[in-house]
Amino acid sequence: MATIKPWYKIDGLTPREDLREGKPLDASEFAVHLDKVRDKTAPAYYQNPEQFFDRTYLTKYLTEFSAQVIRRLSGEKTETSAVFNLATQFGGGKTHALTLLYHLAKGGSIANNWTGVQKILQKAGISSVPEAAVAVFVGTEFDSLTGRGGNDGTSLRKTPWGEIAYQLGGETALAVLAQHEAEFIEPKGDVIKQFLPKDKPCLILMDEIINYVSSYRGKGYHNSLYNFIQALSETARGLDNVVLVVSVPASELEYTSADEGDEQRFKKMLDRVGKPIMMSAEAETSEIIRRRLFEWDAGAVSANGRIMLPKDAIATCNEYADWVLDHRQQLPSWFPLDNPREAFYATYPFHPSVLSNWTKIFTVIASEGKQSQPLRLLHFTSFHLQ
């Protein structure tokens, strides 16, 4: 094998700043907090939409899902839905997808120039991202005992519907629900229509619903939330540019039997009134990792969103691929012996076997609710191999 350049000496292959400097990372660097994005307390990478899109690889499923959402927000009713029930495999990027939708809807036409958005628009069949009013409800964050507001110059909100109405239309929208808020009774369609914006599209994102349901089941709030989401779903279906995206599952390893029953109850209702979306990215793991751990010039990203490797990197891949072809009889059958060149291109600067083992580790660790740990492991390893 000819002398080849180490990956860290190749021009155009630049690790992220924190990786270059060996800065320790906590889990928040690789985990999205949707409510924190809304209140601008998330890490800068998640708050800045341009950075977020620069480091996000739009998988097939993420592209199709986001295209359907903005298509409906633009007023189109075919090949889309007003309600989406979002689920993922462990570590499949559920909250990352919700954050992407949040930035798109808040950005509107400004988002047209962000990395990958033209690909979404093309899939959606529309010319521009519609700006929308956005509300976020996260079941792990909202506390119905203490509520939000009341001591910061805003009215107190203790119900999910009150919080959503306030985010969409401020005090005016919340006033529509004054009695519902006071008596903790969910509004029905006629009232929901009154607090939804009339002058722009509307996107409502609800995450970690089962966590909220589990906490307040004893007070009967789980039934109130179910009834509200059902009424909100039916209302959204009757309007042209309102979208509701609900993420039901929490970690199944932490479910009680009551949690499992409620999970199935919410899922059946949402699948009936909306569209189930399963996020999966197994075949595109390497592209996701390269976006998260390395910085790429805009010119290095192809029209389909994949990274175009520098010439020296391609030369390295070719050398390894030629060696594999020359020694294929000595290699295990599980290695892609018939197309080694493509395998090395797809995973560089990591060896295909490294990412194969990493995926197995990821599956085990993510099933324990620690999805960010495998990425941190690759981050740590890459730094010490420079």
> What are the b/e assignments for 329-352, b being 16+ CB within 10 Å?
eeeeeeeeeeebbebbbbbbbbeb
Confidence at residue 45, expressed as pLDDT on a 0 to 100 scale: 82
Give the pLDDT band (50/70/90) at residue 24. Answer: low
For residue 333, pLDDT beyond 80: no
Instruction: Please report which confidence band the pLDDT of residue 60 belongs to, taking 50, 70 and 90 as the band edges.
Output: confident
Q: What is the mean pLDDT of the chain?
A: 86
One-letter identity of residue 141: E
**Is it the case that residue 253 has pLDDT exceeding 90?**
no
Q: What is the pLDDT of residue 220?
A: 95
Share of the chain above pLDDT 90, in %: 56
Q: What percent of the chain has pLDDT over 70?
A: 84
Q: What's the predicted TM-score (pTM) here? A: 0.80
Highest mean pLDDT among 9-13, 32-36, 236-240: 236-240
pLDDT at position 353 is: 82
pLDDT of 250 reads 47
Beta-carbon contacts of residue 378 (< 8 Å; ≥ 6 apart):
289, 293, 350, 358
- Give pLDDT tens digits for 285-327: 778 778 778 888 877 888 777 888 999 999 999 999 999 999 8
Give the tens place of pLDDT for each residue, 211-226: 999 999 999 999 999 9
Give CA–CA dist 194/275, Å, rounded.
25
Distance (Å, whole) CA 11 – CA 350: 16
Least confident of 24-38, 71-85, 354-368: 354-368
Which residues share a beta bridge with 383?
none
Residue 261 has pLDDT above 80, yes or no: yes
